[in-house]
Structure formats: C-alpha cells, structure tokens
Structure 1
C-alpha cells in the first residue's frame, strides 16, 4: 500500500538546499587515467570514494557513507508515523589535460521492506477500524558544475518501492578542466498500525476497548557507483591532417569520375 507522503515535496526542497559539511576525516583523493577526484564535503562527513576499475576509457568509482547506506525506518503500533533521511556528497575533480569526460552514469539499488501485522480477529458490530499502511518514497538528484555552469542531470523519483529496485541515471557531457558533482538523496518511510475501537454494552452501561497491531517500513540506498567514460581530445594538428586527408580523397574521387 502506498504511503500518504505528507510534506514530502517540502522536505525534498529543503534537502536540496542544504549546504554540505566539510569531510570529518582526511580528504580522499583518487587519480584515474583521465581525471582526479576528491571529496569536497558531505551531509554528515562520512562519505568515502573507492576506485573499482579503470580501463583507460571507463572509470568506475564506489560511493559509500553519504549519501548511501543510511536506512530510513518508520514503525507504528497505532497512530501514523513517518521518517525522512537526507544524504549528500560533493565531489570536486579536474580532468587531465588532453582528455575529456564524455558521459557520466550514477547507478545504485533501492532496497525496501515492510510489514503490516494482520489483526487476529475481525472488526464486527460496534467496531470502528482503520487498516494498516506501510510505504516509502525516494528521490536521487545530482548536479554537474563545470566552467561556471551548473547543469541539473537526470533525477530519480520513485513514489513506492517493493523489494530491490536497481537504477541508472546517465547523461552525455563534454567536461574538461575543473568540475564539481553534487549528489543528494531523500529517503522517506511511512507506517500506520491497524487499529480497532470497539464499543461494548453491558448492564445499561458502555465502555470502549482499543486494539492495535504494528506496521513498519524501511528503505535504504546501496551499491552507489559513479561511472565516467573518458577520451583523449585530438590535438588541433590532428584535425588539420584529417581535413587534408579528406581533401586528397575527394580529389582522387573526382579524377576517377572524369
């Protein structure tokens, strides 16, 4: 059952406006075949980056701590409960001279679980009941800033996740020089336990009994990986030689026609 996302849009906007905190540990740096990358800050100072692979043209980097791996949990034995967890990291990098980043992909997995405990008896006569609910919602947003221009990259918004939901957000780019990458997540969980309110009549008087059964919902972002494709930028002389070669081929083609 999907949650009632009261105020989710508001808290999402608030999360997007949060300033990153400086990293609490020594700043991490990675040097790849096409660029360098470092943690400039994160929402809780727990972000870490690890180089998974570097083929020379494709670089894969694991992101742990912020914004991944911190689960959100909502638990209710009666009244509705909701909880939101924000995470974010800012990465600062420099593309190696003579190279450019041609595409970026942010991938990961959203893992959800929930349970609504069923009542052990039916709500019959003189009974007012409210069914249990459990749900979640996730938003992943990222922004690339290069040459003083900030670009909002494809974002993910999933109103309800069941089980494991892999995702991949990809974009083409032609990034050179210095750049920053801001990645932010908002995870929301909602739960409301089943409640019965039963009115009893006995001997000319009445009384009310309350019965409840718990519900809970959990959501976590894991396996967050940044993949960058890089390529060498041809020297100006290379373009000149290419044009000259095309000109020679064109002249030969015209001579054959004659």
Structure 2
C-alpha cells in the first residue's frame, strides 16, 4: 500500500506555510479594494511599505521607510563641546481605489520615545539635554487636504502616536502625505577638573497605516432594496385598509 498525505491535509500545509512566511516589503501593494503605492520621497531605492494585517474591510501597512528614517536621533556630549543630531522624513503615497469600494477610515498608530540625561558635578549647574519629535499625516479629500499631527518637546519615555478619521466616505482616489522629524542636543558639565556627560535621544517607531473600506452596492442591489421597501409599504397600507 502506498502511503501519502491526503490532498486536503497537503493543501492545509501549503496554506499554513504561506501564512507563516514574512510579509514582503514593496513600493506598491495591490489589495481587493485598492492599490497603495509610493509616489514621492527621497531615495526611491529605499521606498518600502509592508502589508502586515488584513481582514475583510480592514488593511494595515507598516510604513517601513518612515520607521527606518526616524529610528533614532542621539546626542551624547562626551567632551564638553556639545553634541547635536537630527533626522527627517517625508513621503507621499497614492491610494488608487477600485470601483466597487469606498474608504470609510484612514488612521495611523505608532510610538514616539524620548530619553534625557543631564550631567551632574557637585556644586555646579547641571548639564543640558533637549529632544523633540514630530509626526504628521495629510489626507487629500475632495474638499482639500486635512492634517493630523503630533509634536513632543523635551519628553521622556513612550508617547502614543494616533490620528486620522474613522467616519470617512471617500469614493475617489486620494493622496496620503507623511512627514516627521527628530532632534537631540546635549551639553555636559565641567567643574573642578571633573566632567559629566549629558545625553538626549528621540525616536519614532512602529508607525502603521490603517485603511478601512466598505463595498458599494451594485445598482441591481439598490433596485432590489427599493422594490423590497415598496412591497413592505404596500403590505402595510393593505393591512391598514
């Protein structure tokens, strides 16, 4: 007797293996409802988005290039001369909507992280450290651009990035713009021959774009709905008479 894997089990193994593969980073990703594509930004060879989650009506994309560009700004004054670092990002993506769908929500989530450490020498003023982070998303609606933003100055620990709209009704293509910046600066302290370093860090990470969609009913569906409502109205009038 020849042994083998049943066809259904074999298909299940193939599907599970595909699901376990890491998502591929792309500059353009096609879904059932729309195509999302990079259209502008520095260094096109570095453009990257990744589809990280999807279910009916909802898609989530990692903004890889933005997360990489804003991974860390760090200033550490080790000599007393001062230290400064900054990072910047901008990009534009185009959401090409397919005819049978409309966009009902566009939001972003992510995390900003800051750290500040002041140098200290007894009997002397402490060192200085400053940081900052900004993040903005712009959605071009038919009525014009709408922006959603965050700004943090001299901040510590994790801060949530979240913004956008969940009650949209977009039936046309739209442009999405993203920008962000980081800065960090630090000055240590000298005193009585002693030196204490100062440090500042800022980062933005895990920024994810979420798009929710809904199907637009076919014209025949509207006709069937209208006919059904008409029949209900006729039935109600007959019961009243």
| Gap runs ≥5 in structure 2 | 1-25
Unaligned residue ranges in structure 1 (runs of 5+): 1-26, 124-128, 197-208
Question: 1:38 Cα deviation (Å)?
Answer: 1.4
CA distance in 1, matches of 2:136, 2:71: 16
Shift of 1:241: 3.0
Supply the distance in 2 between the matched residues of 1:67 and 1:167 (Cα, whole angstroms). 13
Q: 2:86–2:182: 8 Å Cα contact kept in structure 1?
A: yes
Do 2:148 and 2:163's aligned partners in 1 also have CA atoms closer than 8 Å?
yes
Following superposition of structure 1 onto structure 2, how do residues 87-126 of structure 1 map, counting pairs within 5 Å? 87-119=89-121, 122-123=122-123
Q: Secondary structure at the match of 1:161?
A: coil
- Contact 1:67–1:183 under 8 Å retained in 2: no
The alignment's TM-score, normalised by the length of structure 1, stands at: 0.72
Q: Which position in structure 2 is the counterpart of 1:226?
A: 209
Change (3 A) 1:222 1:245: same
The structure with the greater share of residues assigned to helix is 2
1:163-182 equivalences in 2 (<5 Å)? 163-172=157-166, 173-182=168-177
Deviations along 1:225-244, whole A, 9 cap, x unmatched?
Answer: 11110111112343333233
How many residues get paired? Answer: 213
Does 28-37 or 243-252 show the bigger shift?
243-252
Q: Do 2:119 and 2:126's aligned partners in 1 also have CA atoms closer than 8 Å?
A: no
1:1-258 pair list within 5 angstroms: 28-45=27-44, 46-66=46-66, 68=68, 69-77=70-78, 78=80, 81-119=83-121, 122-123=122-123, 129-146=124-141, 150-172=144-166, 173-196=168-191, 211-257=194-240
